[in-house]
Amino acid sequence: MDKTDVVIIGCGIAGATAALRLAQNPDRHILVLTRHADPLESNTRYAQGGIVSRGEDDTADCLYNDIIAAGAGASFPKTARILAEEGPDLLQKLLVETAGVTFDSAPDGRPFFGQEAAHSRRRILHVGDGTGLAIIQGLLAAMARFPNITLETNLTAVDLITFPHHSRDPLRTYQPIACYGVYAFHRKERTLHRYLAAATILATGGLGRIYRNTTNPPGARGDGLAMAHRAGARIINAEYVQFHPTALAAPGAEGFLISEAVRGEGAVLLTPEGRPFMADYSPEWKDLAPRDVVARAIHHQMEAHGYSHVLLDLATHMDADAIRARFPNIYAKCLSAGIDITREPIPVVPAAHYFCGGVAVDEWGLSSIQNLYALGEISCTGVHGANRLASTSLLEGLVWGDRAGRHIEALLSCQSPANLAASVPSFDEVPPWDESGLVADADSALIQGDMQTIQNIMWHYVGLARNTERLLRAIRELRHLWNEIETFYQTTKLSDGLIGLRNAVEVALIVAESALHNRQSRGCHFREDAGIAEGERLI
């Protein structure tokens, strides 16, 4: 199916939710693409701690206030309010009733709400510490029940099809930019396809992999952000990259996330000598301070004292059986790395975790480009401001996936089938991808080497603590690399790795340039050499 009503790029929680909402209309045809062979593979799959719901003594106002407080003054009140008000009911309807996700409950049958940092209430629903996997399995199973959803795997989106850029009509230049689908590369067949659609949704997830230390899986390389940027979409808040305080620092298991829920259940951060240190940085919240504060505190301890990691002690604060029941995956993963978390502390370091910025969208997920929507981690609704409140990203994917689905349906259903078909360009109007003359296959050593260079630049110069000198150095080196990679890209046959490398250097530059331009420390953007925003936290 190369021409459809809606093409959705990505099938994590955001893309899957949009597909399910659109599929309610049996006449609507929805094509969902993912670059992985396994549709489960996404950031969603790895979410551990859970998803925000409404706790027992909780209200929408209360959640709204926590989001605003964590966002360090930069959360957009309108969208934070939407999330707080719509999220919990939608969770119940879509995840529990439609997708059949069974969240953990207490022995009396009531939901077992977890606690996480900077939440003033226990309100996190979870499925052990494998919440994301349970959610995406449920959503994919629900999608399979709709014959009007086609899910295609092994397809890497390369570039958006936008007019005037891809139009053969010179007069199209005088109209606003509009999106009509995507060029995608079939990883197995090594062929390029045009998918044309009345509406296009980018739901490609985050960009953690542009950093050396990250909790994100290999697919999180910012593909959608780079595509949107090349197409001319507005991008905002790109300097706000959230670093998770606690990724496992054990050989062979680097980057594995030790969920915030572990501190929510009482675990305490210690120096390697065994001294608790969070009270020095946040006397009020201590180990449950907002993520940026905890991550910078660890970074500060590591830099000041030359530690390679700090320790997270759960064993002293939770019974061994309770640890195994509440955190089965973390327990098993640490044990496989030789650490028994029921008996000893866990070595941890901070790692790039979540992208708070992204493609600027409105309350319906619509970007600055006509017909182009962006949802989930790739988008910036403004909810997370300068620092995301734990466990709100899954909920944001759900809420905006549903909203975009409703918005697109309202627009498409106004049109007669004939008008709708005519609104999508024909294949004659959109040039096919041209690879003629390219014979060289991409050299994987170059791809790997360049990727590692990007990751090192981002980690050292655009990391937890930034200053003008580091950022300027990063930008100079990334620009040089961008030129090299662009030449490489223009002269080499396509591959998934090459597409990802080109995108990674593009988004690395976007983040570094935003970080340079924002001279004010706020939330997860910390400038050592600039003013601190009013009311902002210092360490």
Residue 215 engages ligand FAD in binding (rule: CB under 6 A): yes
Residue 381 engages ligand FAD in binding (rule: CB under 6 A): no
Is 221 designated active site? Answer: no
Say if residues 206 and 13 touch (Cβ distance below 8 Å): no
* Number of chain residues interacting with ligand FAD (CB under 6 A): 44
Name residue 482's amino acid: W
Residue 156 engages ligand FAD in binding (rule: CB under 6 A): yes
Rank residues 332 and 472 by Cβ distance to ligand FAD and give the closer one: 332
| Interface residue with ligand FAD, options 4, 48, 237, 514 (CB under 6 A) | 48
Say if residues 229 and 504 touch (Cβ distance below 8 Å): no
Rank residues 423 and 495 by Cβ distance to ligand FAD and give the closer one: 495
Residue 213 engages ligand FAD in binding (rule: CB under 6 A): no
Instruction: In whole angstroms, give the CA distance from residue 158 to residue 151.
Output: 18
The DSSP call for residue 367 is: -
| Interface residue with ligand FAD, options 397, 463, 497, 523 (CB under 6 A) | 397
Residue 257 engages ligand FAD in binding (rule: CB under 6 A): yes
Residue 43 engages ligand FAD in binding (rule: CB under 6 A): yes
Name the helix (H) or strand (E) containing 150: strand 149-152
Residue 44 engages ligand FAD in binding (rule: CB under 6 A): yes
The active-site residue, picked from 291, 388, 470, 502, is 291
Rg (CA), the chain: 23
| Interface residue with ligand FAD, options 354, 400, 461, 526 (CB under 6 A) | 354
Return the residues of window 2-41 that contact ligand FAD according to CB under 6 A: 9-15, 33-36, 41
CB of 538 to ligand FAD, least distance (A): 27
* Burial category of 459 from C-beta neighbours within 10 Å (exposed 0-12, middle 13-18, buried 19 and up): middle
CA-based nearest residue to 373, from 7, 102, 122, 58: 7
Rank residues 33 and 458 by Cβ distance to ligand FAD and give the closer one: 33
Name residue 363's amino acid: E
Name residue 356's amino acid: C
Q: Which positions ≥6 away from 224 have C-beta within 8 Å?
A: 9, 10, 157, 202, 203, 204, 205, 359, 374, 378
Residue 295 engages ligand FAD in binding (rule: CB under 6 A): no
Say if residues 401 and 14 touch (Cβ distance below 8 Å): yes
Say if residues 203 and 10 touch (Cβ distance below 8 Å): yes
Name residue 27's amino acid: D
CB of 230 to ligand FAD, least distance (A): 12
Residue 118 engages ligand FAD in binding (rule: CB under 6 A): no
Which residue(s) pair with 257 in the sheet?
A: 247
| Interface residue with ligand FAD, options 75, 246, 381, 391 (CB under 6 A) | 391
CB of 256 to ligand FAD, least distance (A): 8
Residues with a catalytic annotation lie at: 291
Binding stretches for ligand FAD (CB under 6 A): 9-15, 33-36, 41-44, 46-51, 131-132, 155-157, 203-206, 215-216, 219, 223, 257, 354, 376-378, 391-394, 397
